[in-house]
Amino acid sequence: MRDVLANELWVGNAHDLRPWRAELSNQVAAVVDLAVNEPPAQPPRDFTYIRIPLVDSAENGAAAFRLALQTVVTLLREGVPTLVCCSAGLSRSPSISCGAAAVYFGEDPDRVLKEHFRELPHDIAPGLWERIKEEVANMS
């Protein structure tokens, strides 16, 4: 789990959620789980857990991309410390997080990726990134 936006947004992987650890609840107030190929996490009942299963490609429908992006943007705007995670934490979670940060800051997604996510290990699927940039452009 890596903090990418000063205690506002973290990017992580499935191992950060399973099994659920109490210290996770002390760092973040919401989780957006994008891992279609992992079982749902088991957070406490009073914890905000949002599951939007995405595959690691451009094959997801536009509505799924929009829902994931808009959810993270809304959590950022509301000041809710949020963890976005997928299976390995290298493609879906950094790309959705970066796209949401681009909308939040009103900046170009490629610029946000270079400036805010440069220290974050990532291996974003090219087709996935192109679709996310299209959705960011539609949301701006």
| Model confidence, pTM | 0.93
Q: What is the pLDDT of residue 86?
A: 94
pLDDT in tens, 4-42: 888 899 999 999 988 887 778 788 999 999 999 999 999
For the ranges 80-84, 112-116, 121-125, the maximum mean pLDDT occurs at: 80-84
Distance CA 113, CA 50 (A): 24
C-alpha distances in Å from residue 24, one per residue of 9, 51, 106, 121: 13, 17, 29, 21
Express each pLDDT in 42-53 by its tens digit. Answer: 998 889 999 999
Give residue limits of the domains in the chain: 2-139
CATH of domain 2-139: 3.90.190.10
Rounded to an integer, the average pLDDT of 58-75 is: 94
